[in-house]
A and B are shown apart, each in its own frame.
Chain A
Amino acid sequence: MLPARSAEPQAVPRPAPPDAGRGTGPSPAVHTIELRKQYRRTVALAGLSMTVRRGEVFGFLGPNGAGKTTAVKLLLGLARPTGGEALVLGAPAGDRETRRRIGYLPELFRYQSWLTAREVLGLHGRLLGLPRARRRAAADDALATVGLAGRGDDKVGTFSKGMQQRLGLGAALLGEPALVVLDEPTSALDPVGRHQVRAIIRELRGRGTTVFLNTHLLQEAEQVCDRVSVISQGRSLATGTLAELRGQASSVRLRVTGLPDGWWRAPQAPGRWTAEGEWLLVRDLAAGQVPDVVAALVARGGRVEAVVPQQQSLEARFLELLGEQ
Chain B
Amino acid sequence: MNAIGIVAALTLREALRRKLIAALAVICLAMIGLSAWGFYRLSHTSGLTSGEIGGAVPEAFILFMFMFSFVIALSASAIASLSVSTEIDSGVLQAVVTRPVRRSEVLLGKWLGLVAILAAYTALVCGLQVGVVFWVSGFVPPNPAVAAAFLFAEGVALLTLVLLLSTRLSALAAGVLGVALFGMAWLAGVVGSFGQLLKIPALHTVSVVSEYLLPTDGLWHGAIYYLEPASYLAFQSGNQDRGDAFFAAGAPAGPYLIWAVVWFALVLVLGMVSFGRREL
Query: In the complex, what distance in Å separates the CA atom of A111 from the CA atom of B95?
Result: 8
- Residue A128 is within 8 A (CB to CB) of chain B in the complex: yes
- Residue B231 is within 8 A (CB to CB) of chain A in the complex: no
Per a CB cutoff under 8 Å, which of B14, B17, B101, B280 touches A78? B280
- Residue A102 is within 8 A (CB to CB) of chain B in the complex: yes
Partner-contacting stretch, out of B58-66, B86-94, B154-162, B243-251 = B86-94
A128 & B100 in contact (Cβ 8 Å cutoff): yes
Query: In the complex, what distance in Å separates the CA atom of A102 from the CA atom of B10?
Result: 23
CB distance from A219 to the nearest CB of B (A): 26
- Residue A129 is within 8 A (CB to CB) of chain B in the complex: yes
CB distance from A197 to the nearest CB of B (A): 18
Query: In the complex, what distance in Å separates the CA atom of A96 from the CA atom of B14?
Result: 26
Asked, given contacts A73-B280, A112-B92, whether A78 binds B98 with beta carbons under 8 Å apart, the answer is: yes
Q: List which B59-109 residues lie within 8 A (CB) of chain A.
A: 90-92, 94-102
- Residue A46 is within 8 A (CB to CB) of chain B in the complex: no
A residues less than 8 Å from B101 (CB atoms) = 96, 127
Asked, given contacts A78-B280, A123-B10, whether A110 binds B92 with beta carbons under 8 Å apart, the answer is: yes
Query: In the complex, what distance in Å separates the CA atom of A128 from the CA atom of B101?
Result: 8
Query: In the complex, what distance in Å separates the CA atom of A104 from the CA atom of B97?
Result: 11
A residues less than 8 Å from B100 (CB atoms) = 96-97, 99-100, 127-129
A112 & B14 in contact (Cβ 8 Å cutoff): yes
A residues less than 8 Å from B18 (CB atoms) = 114
- Residue A283 is within 8 A (CB to CB) of chain B in the complex: no
- Residue A124 is within 8 A (CB to CB) of chain B in the complex: yes
The winner among B14, B91, B99 for most chain A CB atoms within 10 A is: B99
- Against A, the Cβ 8 Å flags (1 = close, 0 = not) of B6-18 are 1000100110011
- Against B, the Cβ 8 Å flags (1 = close, 0 = not) of A115-138 are 100000001101111000000000
Query: In which size bucket is the chain B interface?
Result: 20 to 34
CB distance from A178 to the nearest CB of B (A): 13
Query: In the complex, what distance in Å separates the CA atom of A100 from the CA atom of B97?
Result: 11
Asked, given contacts A106-B91, A112-B14, whether A78 binds B279 with beta carbons under 8 Å apart, the answer is: yes
Query: In the complex, what distance in Å separates the CA atom of A96 from the CA atom of B276?
Result: 13
Query: In the complex, what distance in Å separates the CA atom of A129 from the CA atom of B1?
Result: 9
- Residue B169 is within 8 A (CB to CB) of chain A in the complex: no
B98 & A76 in contact (Cβ 8 Å cutoff): yes
A residues less than 8 Å from B94 (CB atoms) = 78, 106, 108
Q: In this complex, what residue of B is CB-closest to A127?
A: B99
- Against A, the Cβ 8 Å flags (1 = close, 0 = not) of B38-75 are 00000000000000000000000000000000000000
B98 & A77 in contact (Cβ 8 Å cutoff): yes
Asked, given contacts A96-B102, A127-B100, whether A80 binds B92 with beta carbons under 8 Å apart, the answer is: no
Q: List which A210-231 residues lie within 8 A (CB) of chain B.
A: none
CB distance from A166 to the nearest CB of B (A): 14
- Residue A168 is within 8 A (CB to CB) of chain B in the complex: yes
Q: In this complex, what residue of A is CB-closest to B102?
A: A96
Q: In this complex, what residue of B is CB-closest to A125?
A: B99
- Residue B233 is within 8 A (CB to CB) of chain A in the complex: no
Per a CB cutoff under 8 Å, which of B91, B99, B279 touches A110? B91
- Residue B3 is within 8 A (CB to CB) of chain A in the complex: yes
B102 & A102 in contact (Cβ 8 Å cutoff): no
Per a CB cutoff under 8 Å, which of B91, B97, B102, B279 touches A109? B91
CB distance from B125 to the nearest CB of A (A): 25
- Residue A171 is within 8 A (CB to CB) of chain B in the complex: yes
- Against B, the Cβ 8 Å flags (1 = close, 0 = not) of A125-156 are 01111000000000000000000000000000
- Residue A295 is within 8 A (CB to CB) of chain B in the complex: no
CB distance from A73 to the nearest CB of B (A): 7
The winner among A77, A114, A124 for most chain B CB atoms within 10 A is: A114
CB distance from B188 to the nearest CB of A (A): 36
CB distance from B42 to the nearest CB of A (A): 43
A residues less than 8 Å from B99 (CB atoms) = 99-100, 124, 127-128
Asked, given contacts A99-B100, A129-B100, whether A80 binds B91 with beta carbons under 8 Å apart, the answer is: no
The winner among A102, A108, A171 for most chain B CB atoms within 10 A is: A108
Query: In the complex, what distance in Å separates the CA atom of A100 from the CA atom of B99?
Result: 6
- Residue A4 is within 8 A (CB to CB) of chain B in the complex: no
B residues less than 8 Å from A104 (CB atoms) = 95, 98
B14 & A126 in contact (Cβ 8 Å cutoff): no
Q: In this complex, what residue of B is CB-closest to A172?
A: B95
B residues less than 8 Å from A78 (CB atoms) = 94, 97-98, 279-280
Query: In the complex, what distance in Å separates the CA atom of A306 from the CA atom of B94?
Result: 54
Q: In this complex, what residue of A is CB-closest to B279?
A: A79
A99 & B10 in contact (Cβ 8 Å cutoff): no
**Could you write out 27 A-B pairs with CB less than 8 Å apart?**
A77-B98, A79-B280, A80-B279, A96-B100, A96-B101, A97-B100, A99-B98, A99-B99, A100-B100, A106-B95, A108-B90, A108-B91, A108-B94, A109-B91, A110-B92, A110-B95, A111-B92, A112-B14, A114-B18, A115-B17, A123-B6, A124-B95, A127-B3, A127-B100, A127-B101, A128-B99, A171-B95
Binding site for A on B (CB under 8 A): 1, 3, 6, 10, 13-14, 17-18, 90-92, 94-102, 279-280
